[in-house]
């Protein structure tokens, strides 16, 4: 397993990338080669197992189309997406924590005026969401673009329902002068990540849960601030401890309590990291 020939091979492969002009690409390739070869040598990987791995990755690629992104799902269940978020999140305390983007965002969703309905026919328990956006200095962030998306009462995103006449459960809002935004929707519920593809087979083979705790996705873009990609999770969800994509952060858990009128409401304040003045 640790024969000298494999050391020479590793060095030969590493050297083959040594003239890469882009220094960052050179660094990444060198590390990739080192870890990939280390993985093969540590496990004593057989040719048959390597071929099974290649067939698995081929199936992941073949499962992707313009609506289904199995590679993001694979990255998510391996914790790679969350690790990338973790190594990049160097924000001051008090800023809202980031989490995984997930595979169900659609760029260019409809613009929704504050007070509008993002459900657009998606079934579920009605609710109202009141959000605010301020920065790490405590100032409200006006005119921030707030992109929200979520599943319906069956735990499905609109893109998982072929033939829908219009988008459901997603929209793009803008904060007002006080940094506020608000909309009506339905209360999110837990859902299993898609298990009908190779990632589902991986979870099944390792006896892992496919169920994500209920959540609302939020992306906030504002000039002069770091873009925030996060979720708001629903308190009390039985899947908070076993999220298959490792996205839960305690600071992102909130409740959707009933108001005096009996309607459920989520109130959540988002804090962006303001860039240092140039």
Q: In 10 A of CB 242, how many CB atoms?
A: 14
Closest CB 158 distance from Fe ion, rounded Å: 12
Closest CB 186 distance from Fe ion, rounded Å: 14
Q: How far apart are CA 210 and CA 77, in angstroms?
A: 9
Q: Which stretch binds Fe ion (CB under 5 A): 20-28, 95-103, 138-146, 180-188?
A: 95-103
Closest CB 102 distance from Fe ion, rounded Å: 5
Closest CB 119 distance from Fe ion, rounded Å: 15
| Pick 191 or 270: Cβ nearer Fe ion | 191
| Pick 102 or 179: Cβ nearer Fe ion | 102
Nearest residue to 95 (alpha-carbon basis) of 275, 274, 277, 272 = 272
Which residues in the 96-115 window bind Fe ion by CB under 5 A? 102
Closest CB 94 distance from Fe ion, rounded Å: 25
> Which 3 state secondary structure label does DSSP give 145?
strand
| Pick 102 or 169: Cβ nearer Fe ion | 102
Angle, vertex CA 175, rays to CA 169 and CA 178, nearest 5: 145
Q: How far apart are CA 171 and CA 167, in angstroms?
A: 9
| Pick 102 or 171: Cβ nearer Fe ion | 102
Closest CB 212 distance from Fe ion, rounded Å: 6
| Pick 215 or 274: Cβ nearer Fe ion | 215
| Pick 102 or 244: Cβ nearer Fe ion | 102
Q: How many residues bind Fe ion (CB under 5 A)?
A: 1
Q: In 10 A of CB 83, how many CB atoms?
A: 12
For residue 27 the two structure tokens come to: 């660094």
Nearest residue to Fe ion by CB is: 102
| Pick 99 or 136: Cβ nearer Fe ion | 99
Q: Which stretch binds Fe ion (CB under 5 A): 40-48, 94-102, 136-144, 266-274?
A: 94-102
For residue 74 the two structure tokens come to: 């694979």
Q: Are 226 and 175 in contact (CB under 8 A)?
A: no
For residues 27 to 66, the per-residue mask of contacts with Fe ion, x marking binding by CB under 5 A and - elsewhere, is: ----------------------------------------
Task: Name, in order, each residue with C-beta under 8 angstroms of 25's C-beta and a sequence gap of 6 or more.
Answer: none
Q: How far apart are CA 51 and CA 34, in angstroms?
A: 20
**Which string of DSSP letters, residue by residue, matches 97-158?**
PP----S---TTPPB--TT-BS-TT--S-EEEEEEEEEETTS-B-TT-EEEEE---TTS--G
Closest CB 172 distance from Fe ion, rounded Å: 17
Contact positions toward Fe ion, by CB under 5 A? 102
């Amino acid at each position: 397993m640790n024969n000298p020939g494999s050391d020479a091979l590793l060095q030969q492969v590493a050297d083959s990338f040594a003239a890469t002009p882009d220094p960052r690409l050179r660094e990444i390739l060198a590390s990739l080669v080192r870890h990939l070869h280390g993985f093969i040598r540590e496990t004593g990987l057989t040719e048959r197992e390597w071929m099974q791995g290649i067939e698995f990755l081929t199936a992941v690629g073949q499962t992707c189309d313009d609506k289904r992104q199995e590679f993001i799902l694979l990255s998510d269940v391996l914790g790679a997406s969350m690790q990338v978020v973790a190594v990049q999140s160097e924000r001051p305390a008090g800023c809202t924590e980031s989490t995984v983007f997930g595979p169900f965002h659609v760029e260019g969703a409809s613009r929704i005026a504050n007070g509008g309905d993002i459900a657009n026919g998606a079934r579920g328990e009605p609710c109202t969401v009141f959000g605010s956006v301020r920065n790490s200095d405590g100032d409200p962030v006006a005119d921030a673009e707030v992109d929200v998306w979520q599943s319906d009462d069956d735990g499905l995103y609109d893109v998982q329902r072929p033939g829908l006449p219009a988008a459901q459960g997603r929209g793009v809002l803008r904060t007002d002068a006080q940094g506020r935004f608000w909309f009506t929707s339905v209360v999110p519920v837990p859902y299993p990540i898609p298990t009908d593809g190779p990632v589902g087979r991986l979870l099944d083979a390792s006896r892992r849960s496919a169920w994500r705790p209920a959540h609302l996705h939020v992306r906030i873009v504002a000039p002069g601030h770091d873009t925030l990609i996060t979720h708001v999770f629903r308190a009390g969800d039985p899947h908070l401890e076993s999220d298959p994509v490792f996205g839960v952060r305690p600071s992102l858990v909130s409740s959707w309590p009933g108001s005096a009128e009996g309607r459920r409401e989520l109130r959540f304040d988002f804090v962006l990291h303001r860039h240092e003045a140039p």
